[in-house]
Amino acid sequence: MERPRRLRLRPSMRRLVREISLEPRHLVWPLFVHRGADPEPIASMPGQLRHSLDSLMTAAAEAVHLQLGGIMVFGVLPQEEKNATGSGAYAEDGLVQEAIRRIKAEHPDLLVMADTCLCEYTDHGHCGIVHEGTVDNDATLELLAKTAVSQARAGADVIAPSAMMDGQVAAIRAALDDAGFAGTPVLSYAVKYASAFYGPFRDAADSAPAFGDRSSYQMDPAGGYWDALREAEIDDREGADMLMVKPALPYLDVLPLLKQRFHKPLAAYHVSGEYAMVKAAALNGWIDERRVVLESLVALRRAGAQFVLTYFAPDAARWLLEG
């Protein structure tokens, strides 16, 4: 009789045949920074903070200590600093630029990713310039390219465009090359769905659109695989170095699809809503947080993610290092 249980009977046997690895280097921690002198808790994301520049440095040191794959920095601007063109995104002395400069000065070996979008900086909360009620794709490209160059100049190791504008990877690649950053890789949010799971992030970054939603540029969750493959193919052709799927667990089927097709590292963004649900259940004592988190991250690795952006990164790394 076939007895699969033979390989499960002893811990040493299970360890030998275990195929999927999960290590701190596979985890990237998204961090929020604001202008305030003190960090602020984010109500819908227990354990996460809107960092001050100083507390962000503490988080960066923790990321180094825990041997994380890297961090990604998001800026949270006060309403009065936002405007129609999101100029805070590409200001040379912008919040994220300053944060990255400080982190890289202190931790040159920590991999720092910059999210490249306008929605945290526009007063209407959309990811690009708005003309007559819709986001103007081509006018937005130039601003995304400027944002990417300013982030690279500040020291960002990876540029991660998330605006879902057509042609954004090509525009950013060309601008980076022109500005002398041919060696800076682009991690494209290639397959990004218009998802309700982003809710807590919008509280955290105060970036909910003032009118309408993002369905005219982010993908339809009920769209076919043709849509996911088309978006990934375009970004692959435009020169993305790495491709991302966002959100993570609800789109677990999309990762293996891309894994087979593209010979580039894949990332999954385990988003704020996925974090909040686990936290809420754990705080109620309904689930074992540690086991649920590690099982979720292993599932993403098994589906094909080389690395995962997750708010659980420091906790998960600590659990993994404890063994």
Interface residues toward Zn ion, by CB under 5 A: 117, 119, 127
Annotated catalytic residue within 82, 246, 264, 279: 246
Nearer residue to Zn ion within complex by CB, 22 or 89: 89
Annotated catalytic residue within 82, 146, 192, 279: 192
Can you tell me the distance from the alpha carbon of 200 to that of 195, in angstroms, rounded to the nearest whole number? 12
CB 68 within 8 A of CB 25: yes
- CA distances to 168, 245, 275 from 47, rounded to whole Å, are 33, 24, 10
Q: How far is the CB of 113 from Zn ion (least distance, A)?
A: 15
Query: Would residue 104 show up in a list of annotated catalytic residues for this protein?
Result: no
311 is in an annotated binding site: yes
251 is in an annotated binding site: no
Nearer residue to Zn ion within complex by CB, 128 or 314: 128
Query: Would residue 192 show up in a list of annotated catalytic residues for this protein?
Result: yes
Can you tell me the distance from the alpha carbon of 236 to that of 228, in angstroms, rounded to the nearest whole number? 12
Query: Would strands 49-51 and 40-41 be described as parallel, antiparallel, or unpaired?
Result: antiparallel
150 is in an annotated binding site: no
Nearer residue to Zn ion within complex by CB, 55 or 218: 218
Q: How far is the CB of 225 from Zn ion (least distance, A)?
A: 24
Nearer residue to Zn ion within complex by CB, 119 or 305: 119
**Count of alpha carbons within 13 angstroms of residue 290, beta-carbon side:** 8
At 204 the three-state DSSP class reads helix
Q: How far is the CB of 115 from Zn ion (least distance, A)?
A: 8
CB 17 within 8 A of CB 7: yes
Annotated binding residues for Mg(2+): 231
> What are the residue numbers of the active site?
192, 246
Q: Which residues are annotated as a binding site?
A: 117, 119, 127, 202, 214, 231, 272, 311
